[in-house]
Amino acid sequence: MQIGLGCWSVLGIQADGIDIPAVKAALAGAKQRFDSTGRPPKFIHTSGTGAIADCTANGAHHDFQTFDDLDVAQMATIAPMQLHRPVDLELLEADDEGESYCSSLYRQSNMEINAGYVKAYIVMPTTVWGIPTGPLLDAGIQKWQNSILNFLVPPSVGRGQGGMVGGGRNVWNNVEVNELADLYIVLYEAIMASEETAHGRVGLYFAENGAHELSELSAVIARVLFEHGKGESPIPTSFTAEEIEKIGLMAMLIGSNAKCAANRARALGWRPTKSTGEIQ
């Protein structure tokens, strides 16, 4: 992995929030490329808004700050042990580091180093909904669904009723999957067009176009199950303590608040149009 990644100037990577060895291997390959070329490879990494989640809400309220990706000081307050954050920090620290990673060849040339040995661009999707389309899906490379819904829908199907944590008052933002893909295209084009495209600690990009209470999302699930004869009622109910225990730690995330504003992504020219009212 390390050798292979050292051959590319622009990389798209996604490492699990606790898979530090994977991201370290990727960065080792990036450092090799930097040492041989003097140019930092560009990393587009998929993180997630679990990094800002308040996991103490338990579906009881939506009283939580809204993170703005243009507010660098606020973004810097994300705790290091939040979901996704350990891997994000590996990338951000590599983006920070400069001259200590400059090879002797480039030190001899008196080249001024203003950045680290990578340029990291971190995309932070919210709740992803919708059905993806495109050649990657057709080829079986892309998963058709991969978000917090994976941990909410199966328990609801299993109990024969749309479920929620507590009263479902907690709030998350959301983004339609194909419009999320558009953000990656917009970001890639911006990176290729300008070396000044924000990266590192100022290069975190939320992906959202609307918000929902958990109860709203659970109501959609309950209605669909009911309409297909798989649910007792179109009205969601709270998961029992036993059901919460079966869901495990992800229940805290399902019942958390994670509120954000994708202003940096929109400043690049990303223009999503689909929002909460279209989730079916």
pTM of the model: 0.88
- Helix segments in the chain, DSSP class H: 2-5, 20-37, 72-75, 85-96, 104-108, 135-138, 149-159, 177-193, 214-227, 241-247, 250-254, 263-267
Q: What is the pLDDT of residue 127?
A: 95
Name 239's Cβ contacts closer than 8 Å, sequence gap at least 6: 155, 159, 163, 164, 165, 247, 251
Cα 27 from chain centre: 19
Backbone CA torsion sign across 48, 13, 81, 187:
negative
Stretch 67-87: mean pLDDT = 97
What is the end-to-end Cα distance of the chain in Å, rounded? Answer: 40
Using left for φ > 0, alpha for ψ between -120 and 50, and beta otherwise, residue 18 falls in alpha
Share of the chain above pLDDT 90, in %: 73
- On average, the pLDDT of the chain sits at 88
pLDDT single digits (tens) 221-272: 999 999 999 999 999 999 999 999 999 999 999 999 999 999 999 999 999 9
Whole-number Å distance between alpha carbons of 280 and 275: 11
**Phi and psi torsions of 85, nearest 5°:** -65, -35
What letter would DSSP give residue 74? Answer: H
Does residue 5 surpass a pLDDT of 70?
no
pLDDT category of residue 137 using cuts at 50, 70 and 90: confident
Cα 265 from chain centre: 13
Q: What is the pLDDT of residue 146?
A: 63
Q: Indicate the burial class of 70 (C-beta count within 10 angstroms; 0-12, 13-18, 19 or more).
A: middle
**Domain enclosing residue 42, as ranges:** 2-278
pLDDT category of residue 103 using cuts at 50, 70 and 90: very low
Structural tokens at position 128: 């992803």
Residues composing the chain: 280
How many angstroms separate the Cα of 200 from the Cα of each of 27, 136, 172, 248, 262? Answer: 14, 28, 25, 33, 16
Stretch 50-56: mean pLDDT = 97
Domain count, the chain: 1
Q: Find the CATH number of the domain harbouring 178.
A: 3.40.50
Whole-number Å distance between alpha carbons of 41 and 95: 10
pLDDT single digits (tens) 142-198: 666 667 888 999 999 999 999 999 999 999 999 999 999 999 999 999 999 999 999
How many angstroms separate the Cα of 193 from the Cα of each of 69, 92, 196, 280? Answer: 21, 22, 9, 37
Does residue 7 surpass a pLDDT of 90?
no
Stretch 28-56: mean pLDDT = 93
Q: By three-state DSSP, how is residue 179 classified?
A: helix
